[in-house]
Amino acid sequence: MIIAVTYENGEIFQHFGHTEQFKLYEVENGKIVKSEIMNSNGSGHGALAGLLKMFGVDVLICGGIGGGAQTALANAGIKLFGGVKGDADEAVEAYLAGVLEFNPNVKCNHHGEGHTCGDHHHEDGHECGNHTCGGNCGNHN
């Protein structure tokens, strides 16, 4: 099995379509046997699913992801675990242990007045994952 994680500086990058790197984990018998960092080469939303399929990815762990990318991943047979934050290696270990916390309804839609990213609502000008909306969102804990 191959697990991909949107990746930046050891953390899960929070916007699938803008990720510049994936960390790929090769798993055998429930254990990570190899990992490597792969550049996305600026592929963009639609092409990223094809790129992951080309590398034999079975599972994607990421932060925010839009509906079109979710559909492309489903069509490529890649299982999605979105809305995940924090350390990439720890997330994969949690997935393998069956305790990964994710949001099955994660969205990152940049069309319209505002958009949702995970469980948060933000106005235009916000980047998914950074959550720097000046405290005006009202949905942050």
pLDDT digits (tens, 9 = 90+) for 8-38: 999 999 999 889 999 999 999 999 999 999 9
This prediction has a pTM of 0.76
Residue 108's pLDDT is: 61
DSSP 64-81: B--HHHHHHHHHTT-EEE
